[in-house]
Amino acid sequence: MLRLLVRRAIEGVVVVAATSFVVFLAIYMLGNPIQVLASPDSPPEVIQRVTASLGLDRPWHEQYWRFVVNALHGDLGVSFVHAQPSLALIFGRLPATLELVVFAMIVAVVVGLPLGLVAGYWPRHWSSQAISSLSVLGISVPAFWVGLMLIIFFSLEWRLLPTGGRGATVQVAGIETSLFTLDGLRHLVLPGFTLATLPLAVIVRLVRTGVREQRRADYVRFGRAMGLSPGLLLGRYILRNVMVPVVTVMGLLFGTLVAFAVVTETVFAWPGSGKLIIDSIKQSDRPVVIAYLLFVVVMFMVINTVVDLLTALVDPRVRLQ
């Protein structure tokens, strides 16, 4: 257990260090930012002075070292566009993204689990085949397309829900959230379901495969012979055995969704971290892009490690490997 944790920690540090190095090199080779920062017609001695004061005249390894030291102090530079520390900017937008992700996860589990159970238990039924085909579609269709379709039908055609933006928010435990206002929820539904498409499809497929395997197990055949209803068999016995991989994958999907929110937030003009990053890329706001990249890498490393640890805790067979 401890060895796994130590190995993962070392690996995480290596990956983050490598990412930061590659990113730094990429930016270093893109050219001197002084041309962007200083007005082109300022006299050469001013440019020289600014270059020296920013440390841009130092050799690259010294610049990288300073970048690392600052990063370890939580300083990843100041956004060119917003004139705020880039990390603070990202954390400021994160609650909106997390709200979307949590909503999508809930939808995926609440809808996906029963569908997967049904499709796995009665694989020959036409509805199960339909569920399976739809889940393939859900994995391969780009997220932005799902969002567009939902907007066309629910907002433009039937005028039921808003086309985008975040609704009214209230402060709950110090965090602005739209989960507790009617207007907020109305704005949350379409982007939430758009983001839920991928995890929904993944969970359906996972549960379906799991149930199909379990269905052949002796305990299920015995239960059927005893005359237990399918609902009882599925809900009480099969579900438990299927849940381990589902929980694992849900953990991994969490990180994926935070990243995928980039697309959903762009479609629905949702003011989260994903929208921020797309805007930053378009405006060449490098400090924000770098901060986001490092943040995502660290997030994934932490999530993957936690998921591995949890899996090892829940399933003793994993620990032995």
Partner 1 sequence: MKQSLFARIREFADSRVALAAGILLLLACAAALLASVISPQNPYDLSQLDIGSGRLPPGSRSGDGILHILGTDDQGRDVLSAIFYGLRVSLVVGVVSTLVAAVFGGIVGLWAAYRGGRVDAVLMRIVDVQLSFPAVLIALMLVAFLGNGLDKVIIAIVLVQWAYYARTVRAAALVEREREYVEAARCLNYSAPRIMLGHILPNCLAPLSVIATVQMAGAIAIEATLSFLGVGLPITEPSLGLLIANGYQFMLSNKYWLSVYPGLCLIALIGAINIVGDRLREMSNPREEG
Strand 175-177 vs strand 170-172: parallel, antiparallel, or unpaired? Answer: antiparallel
Cα(259)–Cα(175) distance, integer angstroms: 21
Examine residue 11 and tell whether it contacts partner 1 (CB under 8 A). Answer: yes
Contact between 124 and partner 1 by CB under 8 A: the answer reads no
Cβ(187)–Cβ(162) below 8 Å: yes
Whose structure tokens read 């917003």? 82
Is residue 156 close enough to count as binding partner 1 by CB under 8 A?
yes
Q: Any contact of residue 148 with partner 1 (CB under 8 A)?
A: yes
Q: Phi and psi at residue 171, in whole multiples of 5°?
A: -85, 120
Among residues 119 and 239, whose Cβ is nearest to partner 1?
119
Query: Interface mask (CB under 8 A) for partner 1, residues 157-196, using x and -?
Result: ------x---------------------------------
Q: By CB under 8 A, what part of segment 191-220 binds partner 1? A: none
Residue 317 engages partner 1 in binding (rule: CB under 8 A)? no
Least Å distance between CB 44 and partner 1?
A: 29
Give the DSSP letter of residue 238. Answer: I
- The CA–CA distances, whole Å, from 125 to 114, 120, 132, 155, 228 equal 15, 10, 11, 34, 20
Q: Tell me if 21 contacts partner 1 by CB under 8 A.
A: no
Site for partner 1 contains 282 (CB under 8 A): yes
Rounded least distance, CB 171 to partner 1, Å: 31
> Restricting to residues 250-269, which ones interact with partner 1 according to CB under 8 A?
252, 256, 259-260, 262-263, 266-267
Residue 88 binds partner 1 (CB under 8 A): no
Nearer Cβ to partner 1, position 206 or 289? 289
Least distance (Å) from partner 1 to the CB of residue 140?
A: 5
- As measured in angstroms, the least distance from the Cβ of 281 to partner 1 is 4
Kindly report the number of other CB atoms within 10 A of residue 157's CB atom: 9
Query: Which long-range contacts link 55-63 to residues 24+ away (Cβ below 8 Å)?
Result: 56/32, 60/28, 63/24, 63/28
Q: Which of 115, 151, 204, 276 is the binder for partner 1 (CB under 8 A)?
A: 151
End-to-end CA distance of the chain: 11
CB of 278 to partner 1, least distance (A): 5
Q: In sequence order, which ranges of the chain are alpha helices (DSSP H)?
A: 2-30, 34-37, 44-53, 60-72, 86-121, 126-140, 143-150, 182-214, 218-225, 230-232, 239-267, 273-282, 286-314, 316-319
Site residues (CB under 8 A) for partner 1, limited to 23-52:
23, 26-27, 30
Residues that bind partner 1 (CB under 8 A): 11, 15, 23, 26-27, 30, 136-137, 140-145, 148, 151-152, 156, 163, 252, 256, 259-260, 262-263, 266-267, 277-278, 281-282, 289, 293, 296-297, 300, 304
